[in-house]
């Protein structure tokens, strides 16, 4: 039968959407799902002349052109290993398996090594953009064997990827083994920070600025026409306007103050600690979600801890502009932290990540797409060895000019008891980065005092240990 270009294993929302995207671009897609009902639902509701359902993995494999290309869209974790245990015995050397789920990069490295021993090629493919992106054009982050990518994977993925304003596909080879899923992990970490920062801007405008949802929607829509233009800003304005379908008013006011997470932001923070990198905004955003889930505990604590008086902004428009400018500085700080982690990981794992190419594929299709990613791409093109985005001349000027606004926005939240952990983290990080005293001399003195860990002096070279208290 060898008629089909690619096999799609997993036909739930994301798998179905990618399968239809591939079919739209002329690829013949063979689809399989463990549950027959899911496959039947797809063929009934989304039929396509370039898609055919299969109900046995063996039949799907037999229908693929060689070398076979299979894209897994199943739940990350054990489900991927379970599918591979079924799939691998059916394949031949040279066949290609791509995992498009949110797999942990270390799992991808393990699977890539195991399949390589059998002569099979394994790719971890980061996919961003949600259902709509998968259907119409996602941002794609593939990692695996370079030669196989160029010959067999690139034509598929570049065809279905989102296209940036300059027409280039939002897909690029990331590096070997787990590089693609690592980049997707950090993308998701930045996404956590970006969403948290926007939510803090919303809280400040609502409680300190005294604005209602419709007024805030106008500000967010206005900001989305300038330097903060992004997918997340766009949907925030729309969400603020959305009427409740069950009661009068806007839906946002009826949604429980609790946000879920799937763990990729937490992975980013853990990996940053392993690599000795600072992603404090991402960590603050993850911790904020954890705290948001403790609804009963928060409700009880609200009866015990007094809240400070709300300091209402006297000039609402001026305060909104302060929040606007501070939000830009904080967002850039979050991206700077994420890209710095990518640089550190690239060196640690020997991946050779191209940070400019990574920024370029984030320009469309993905959740963190934003107009300033053009500037980020340009910054890394100017200087591929740039240690931090905030040191690029363009961003240095932009962030420096907005630090007073960031400090004022974070301060307004702290004074009025409005939680702004990510804005605060951005302020602290920039203060630390600019060389402000951090008290680390006292910490090192404590370490030497209780553990003889030694220290360096500011007035002479060498390593020193002091007999603390001996001269008293």
Question: In the 8-state DSSP scheme, what is residue 70?
Answer: E
Give yes or no for a contact between 219 and 330, defined as CB atoms under 8 angstroms apart. no
Containing 7, the helix (H) or strand (E) segment is strand 6-9
Beta strands per DSSP E along 67-159: 69-72, 96-99, 121-128, 139-143
Rounded CA separation 280/431 (Å): 13
Cα distances (angstroms) measured from residue 337 to each of 190, 272, 282, 390: 8, 10, 8, 10
Rounded CA separation 60/164 (Å): 34
What are the residue numbers of the active site?
A: 184, 191
Cα distances (angstroms) measured from residue 234 to each of 140, 206, 227, 366: 22, 18, 13, 13
Three-state DSSP class for residue 98: strand
Half-sphere exposure for 407 (CA within 13 Å, toward CB): 10
Angle at 427 between CA 425 and CA 430, to 5 degrees: 105
């Amino acid at each position: 039968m060898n008629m089909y270009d690619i096999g799609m294993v997993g036909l739930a929302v994301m798998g179905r959407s990618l399968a239809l995207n591939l079919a739209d671009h002329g690829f013949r897609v063979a689809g399989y799902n463990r549950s027959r009902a899911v496959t039947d639902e797809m063929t009934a509701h989304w039929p396509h002349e370039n898609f055919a359902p299969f109900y046995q993995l063996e039949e799907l494999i037999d229908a693929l052109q060689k070398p076979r290309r299979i894209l897994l869209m199943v739940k990350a974790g054990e489900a991927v290993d379970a599918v591979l245990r079924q799939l691998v015995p059916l394949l031949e050397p040279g066949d290609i398996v791509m995992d498009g789920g949110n797999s942990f990069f270390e799992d991808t490295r393990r699977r890539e090594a195991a399949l390589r021993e059998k002569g099979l090629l394994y790719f971890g493919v980061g996919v961003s953009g949600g259902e709509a992106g998968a259907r119409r054009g996602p941002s794609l982050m593939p990692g695996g064997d370079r030669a196989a990518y160029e010959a067999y994977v690139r034509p598929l993925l570049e065809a279905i990827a989102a296209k940036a304003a300059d027409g280039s596909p939002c897909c690029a080879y990331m590096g070997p083994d787990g590089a693609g899923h690592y980049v997707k992990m950090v993308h998701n970490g930045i996404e956590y920070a970006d969403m948290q920062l926007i939510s803090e801007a919303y809280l400040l405008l609502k409680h300190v600025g005294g604005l209602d949802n419709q007024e805030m929607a106008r500000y967010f829509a206005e900001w989305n026409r300038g330097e903060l233009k992004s997918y997340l800003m766009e949907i925030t304005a729309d969400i603020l306007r959305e009427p409740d379908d069950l009661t009068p008013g806007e839906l946002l006011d009826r949604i429980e103050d609790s946000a879920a997470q799937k763990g990729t932001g937490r992975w980013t923070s853990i990996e940053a600690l392993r690599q000795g990198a600072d992603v404090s905004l991402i960590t603050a955003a993850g911790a904020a979600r954890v705290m948001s889930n403790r609804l009963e505990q928060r409700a009880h604590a609200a009866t015990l801890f007094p809240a400070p008086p709300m300091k209402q902004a006297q000039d609402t428009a001026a305060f909104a502009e302060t929040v606007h400018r501070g939000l830009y500085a904080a967002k850039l700080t979050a991206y700077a932290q994420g890209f710095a982690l990518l640089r550190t990981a690239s060196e640690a794992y020997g991946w050779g990540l191209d940070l400019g190419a990574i920024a370029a594929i984030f320009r469309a299709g993905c959740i963190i797409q934003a107009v300033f990613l053009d500037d980020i791409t340009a910054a890394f093109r100017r200087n591929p060895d740039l240690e931090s985005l905030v040191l690029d001349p363009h961003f240095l000027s932009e962030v420096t000019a907005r630090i007073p606004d960031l400090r004022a926005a974070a301060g307004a939240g702290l004074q009025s008891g409005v939680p702004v952990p990510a804005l605060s983290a951005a302020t602290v990080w920039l203060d630390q980065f600019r060389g402000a005293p951090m008290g680390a001399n006292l910490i090192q003195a404590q370490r030497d005092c209780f553990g003889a860990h030694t220290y360096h002096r500011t007035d002479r070279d060498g390593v020193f240990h002091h007999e603390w208290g001996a001269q008293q």
